[in-house]
Chain A
Amino acid sequence: MRGAWGHGLRTVGDTTLSIVGRIGAVVLFLGQILRHSGTSFRRFGLVIREVYFAGVQSLIIILVSGLFVGMVLGLQGFETLQSYGSSESVGVLVALSLMRELGPVVSALLFASRAGSAITAEIGLMKATEQLSAMEMMAVNPLARVVAPRFWGGVISLPLLAVLFAAMGILGGFLVTVVMLGVDSGAFWSQMQAAVDFHHDILNGVIKSLVFGVAVSAIATFEGYEAPPTAEGVSGATTRTVVSSSLAILALDLLLTAFMMKGWN
């Protein structure tokens, strides 16, 4: 019995140490990216190209998801608020939910699945096919030429995608509640305008998505760069990117929300 407890405890300890070690490695890698980011800013075209691949090519999934999430929020909100006789406030509920939480969090989760995994697979395959080694031997640092532009491309893209997600969500909420369920259009917009605060709601949402962008991009580039140079290694790295990024987004969301709420009081 004691042996089983000991083994269990050892497993928990090993796993904890491994997770902490991995977080430390990502943070050190982030430091290296920042150190080698000069090229990305001197040749901003490299970053713009990555904004296109990570951001523009994620637009469809972000916009469609935003529309559906907004529609569901509108439906659920209308149903609940109607029983309290305040269905006109559904616009406030949709807007605040999207700007404070769902916009940054859901768009970051979608971004990690679509763009994050693609970044990991691309860098991992470049490593497996010796393209990164070839670059090193050409006296070009892959951290500066390959990793940093992809990192900054992700950091710039995610806040923009989150804003678009929230905008589409509000449109979806409007379509369901105003067009389909007959909520007064004036009440929908005016209550939303009165309740939404630029600093507390919009800016804080953008700050959240910026932090998520840093986390997802750092994890995605790290996993690709450190992936074992085999088919199995690259596939494992893409899976780790999605899992680690999703957990990081949810954990960071809790922390950021707690800090931001403290600021409101």
Chain B
Amino acid sequence: MIHQVEIRDLNFGYGEQLVLKGINLTVPKGSLVAIMGLSGCGKTTLLRLMGGQLLARQGSVRVAGQELNHMNEAQLYAMRRQVGVLFQFGALFTDLSVFDNVAFQMREHTRLPESMIRDLTLMKLNAVGLRGVQSLMPAELSGGMARRVAMARATALDPALILYDEPFTGLDPISLGAIGRLIRQLNDALGATSVLVTHDVQESMKIVDYIYFVSDGVIVAQGTPEEIHASALPFVHQFVWGEADGPLPFHYPGPTLKMDFGDERGQA
């Protein structure tokens, strides 16, 4: 099987603290893979390593068979032309209109005539259902619309790999379902490979082919949505069913309740 992304024995950290420890992960070509875990578990860091924004401390990150750690700046930029990224809040360029945002990469990287750029841009906007907002500025869009425009921009050059960073955050149920379906449709229509970083279990289970669970910088479980749904692993069960009690603590480690409240109350 050909892998679009292949990560082997990856270690990464900020300063002394290791954020990712011994990660092994593959994303087959044409598939849609989700990386899930609690906030702060290292999911977005993993996504940034796939895009070459961060470099592995140890181990290997290969995208389309190329080792990112050995690339110079020019090679990295050449690789990124094959990658589309949807940032958590869209990251649309606020000084450009919706149309200019989507056309940005075409103008930067191709010598296409403006008439063709116009047609391609409108096609991309049509694919996300927003051809009618082409002249608006990003500040005039709702959160869901901005996310869809960002998706049109991320797929502007028909990338081979699309990385989605928390695409469902802060969306209403209708936009959430629409964005989920769009991610699946775009992946299949473009023949691309997609990696989705999210903690929205129910929505992503409907659209992805495979799921990796990350906790405390380690992959603790993996499988197809059906396998994950049926899993008896305490971690997976707690995460999928959103239970407060389980191996994942709700409270950040700190002094005991008695130390913070009990003694003082007793003294009072």
Contacts and interface: CB of A to CB of B under 8 A. Distances in A.
A133 B87 contact: yes
A134 B85 contact: yes
A140 B93 contact: no
B7 to A, nearest CB: 18
A133 B53 contact: yes
A131 B138 CA distance: 12
B108 A130 contact: no
A139 B77 contact: yes
A145 B77 CA distance: 14
B105 interface: yes
Contact of B109 (A126, A135, A137, A139): A139
A130 B87 contact: yes
B236 interface: no
A141 B53 CA distance: 12
Nearest to B163: A137
Given A136-B53, A139-B78, A139-B109, A130 B91 contact: yes
A131 B150 CA distance: 11
Contacts of B78: 139
Interface in B82-113: 83, 85, 87-89, 91-94, 104-105, 108-109
A134 B87 contact: yes
B70 interface: no
A126 B104 CA distance: 16
A129 B104 contact: no
A137 B87 CA distance: 10
A133 B86 CA distance: 11
A134 B91 contact: yes
B91 A141 contact: no
B205 to A, nearest CB: 27
A138 interface: yes
A129 B139 CA distance: 13
Interface in A124-171: 125-126, 129-131, 133-141, 145
Query: Interface size class for chain B?
Result: 10 to 19
Query: Interface size class for chain A?
Result: 10 to 19
Contacts of B77: 139, 141
Contacts of B81: 139
B80 interface: yes
Contact of A138 (B80, B88, B94): B80
A133 B105 contact: no
Contacts of B225: none
A125 B53 CA distance: 19
B94 A137 contact: no
B105 A129 contact: no
Contacts of B144: none
B42 interface: no
B51 A137 contact: yes
B53 A137 contact: yes
Interface in B39-76: 51, 53
Contacts of B91: 129-131, 133-134
B108 A140 contact: yes
Contact of A137 (B80, B92, B93, B108): B80
Contact of A131 (B83, B93, B105): B93
B13 to A, nearest CB: 20
Nearest to A49: B95
B103 to A, nearest CB: 12
B80 A131 contact: no
Interface string A42-77: 000000000000000000000000000000000000
16 contacts: A126-B93, A130-B87, A130-B88, A131-B91, A131-B92, A131-B93, A131-B94, A134-B87, A136-B53, A136-B80, A137-B53, A138-B80, A139-B109, A140-B105, A140-B108, A141-B77
Given A137-B53, A141-B77, 11 more contacts: A129-B94, A130-B88, A130-B89, A131-B91, A131-B92, A131-B94, A133-B53, A137-B51, A138-B105, A139-B109, A140-B108
